[in-house]
């Protein structure tokens, strides 16, 4: 027994040190509460949009799936923005090798051993677009960022990034607002547009008031994001319609749509023509970060 005493004392001492270490561990910092002012759309403001993946931190989202937005003009009469992103495209050499493999495999003699599969090689390409929204505050419809086209385009009758102000006021006062999704324009991104049109047509058949009505979620919320590198929370309101759930900045002058999570009601027709998982991948997003204009831009 006497020989075990030193071991017991060491164990007790180690346990005491561990307890002190745990007690000394700093608590996880909570996001600071911020006003809506840093998110006000203005020239030079930058926003990073990432896929809306519940439970996945924005820092863990692949860089290639981000869309960076710079506000060029936001003066009440128009909203002009530039967006950039990256996509993976197969290299020309990779495509040539796989074509040769297909020809060789199709011409192989019967009973010949199968040829080794030729893997595809990809490289990153930048994509970008400059979009103009005339009088977005009075526009009747909302254009999802997942439909934004490459190149230059003008979308009269659509708002981009923020809800039309009248629609936001209706949500707050009447708990519902009519905000159809903007689906016009050949330049909108495919196949997302085609799938969304099909899903919207199906929703129109199922809902008596049509697919364009958004309804307020009663409980006020707070939305987390980064502003100039700091983790903050801003006041938001929630809304939903046939397409999914929305979080909107609680600011009548700048009702920025902070996130969209597609979640249409399941149905055999929807699963066949416009699967919810595909809509989620192509059209869901959240604002992960906002960067204030540089001083020379803000002047």
Give alpha helix (H) positions in 107-164: none
Mean pLDDT of 161-173: 93
User: Pick from 17, 15, 18, 19: which is nearest to 7 by CA?
Assistant: 15
Check residue 110 and give its pLDDT: 79
Cα 161 to Cα 83: distance, rounded to the nearest angstrom: 12
Q: Do the domain assignments include residue 139? A: yes
Q: Is the per-residue pLDDT at 12 higher than 50?
A: no
pLDDT in tens, 260-272: 998 776 666 556 5
Q: Which residues pair with 242 in a beta bridge?
A: none
Average pLDDT on 25-51 reads 82
Instruction: Give the pLDDT mean for 181-203.
Output: 82
pLDDT interval class at 288 (50, 70, 90): very high
In a domain, 23, yes or no: no
Residue 14 inside a domain? The answer is no
> Do residues 86 and 103 make contact, with C-beta atoms less than 8 angstroms apart?
no
Assess if residue 235 is contained within a domain: yes
192-206 and 276-283 helices cross at what angle (nearest 10)?
Answer: 130
How large is the average pLDDT for residues 73-84? 93
Residue 48 inside a domain? The answer is yes
Segment 53-63 shows an average pLDDT of 58
Q: Which two tokens stand for residue 7?
A: 């071991």
> What's the domain range around 142?
29-298
Span 281-293, average pLDDT: 90
pLDDT: is 35 or 20 the higher one?
A: 35
Residue 208 lies in a domain: yes
- What is the count of structural domains for the chain? 1
**299 pLDDT exceeds 60?**
no
Residue 38: per-residue pLDDT: 87
- Quick one: DSSP state of residue 82? E
Sequence-separated (6 or more) residues with CB below 8 Å from residue 70: 44, 45, 46, 81, 82, 83
* CA 269 distance to own-chain centroid: 26
Structural contact between residues 132 and 80, judged by C-beta atoms closer than 8 angstroms: yes
Provide Rg for the chain, Cα atoms. 26
Q: Do the beta carbons of residue 288 and residue 31 sit within 8 Å?
A: no
Inside any domain, residue 124? yes
Domain presence at residue 225 = yes
Q: Mean pLDDT lowest for which of 46-60, 106-120, 126-140, 281-295?
A: 46-60
Sign of torsion, CA 224 264 53 280?
A: negative
Average pLDDT, the chain: 80
How many Å apart are CA 59 and CA 192, to the nearest integer?
25
pLDDT higher at 149 or 86: 149
Q: Using CA atoms, how far apart are residues 258 and 236, in angstroms rounded to an integer?
A: 8
Predicted pLDDT at 106: 79
Tell me what the mean pLDDT of segment 133-154 comes to.
92
Supply the pLDDT for residue 279: 73
């Amino acid at each position: 027994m006497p020989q075990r005493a030193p071991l017991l004392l060491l164990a007790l001492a180690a346990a005491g040190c561990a307890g002190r270490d745990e007690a000394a561990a700093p608590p996880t910092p909570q996001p600071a509460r911020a006003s809506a002012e840093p998110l006000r759309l203005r020239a030079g403001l930058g926003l990073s949009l990432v896929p809306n993946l519940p439970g996945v931190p924005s820092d863990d989202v692949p860089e290639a799936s981000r869309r960076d937005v710079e506000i060029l003009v936001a003066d009440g009469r128009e909203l002009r923005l530039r967006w950039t992103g990256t996509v993976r495209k197969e290299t020309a050499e990779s495509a040539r090798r796989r074509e040769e493999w297909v020809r060789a495999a199709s011409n192989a003699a019967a009973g010949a051993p199968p040829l080794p599969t030729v893997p595809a090689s990809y490289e990153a390409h930048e994509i970008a677009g400059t979009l103009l929204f005339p009088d977005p505050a009075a526009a009747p419809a909302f254009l999802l960022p997942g439909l934004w086209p490459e190149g230059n385009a003008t979308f009269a009758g659509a708002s981009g990034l923020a809800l039309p102000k009248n629609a936001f006021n209706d949500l707050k006062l009447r708990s519902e607002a009519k905000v159809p999704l903007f689906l016009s324009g050949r330049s909108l991104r495919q196949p997302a547009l085609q799938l969304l049109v099909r899903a919207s047509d199906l929703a129109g058949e199922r809902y008596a008031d049509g697919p364009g009505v958004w309804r307020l979620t009663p409980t006020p919320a707070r939305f987390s994001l980064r502003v100039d590198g700091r983790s903050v929370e801003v006041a938001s309101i929630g809304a939903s319609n046939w397409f999914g759930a929305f979080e909107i900045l609680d600011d009548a002058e700048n009702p920025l749509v902070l996130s969209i999570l597609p979640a249409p009601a399941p149905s055999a027709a929807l699963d066949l023509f416009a699967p919810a998982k595909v809509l989620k991948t192509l059209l869901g997003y959240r604002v992960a970060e906002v960067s204030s204009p540089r001083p020379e831009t803000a002047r």
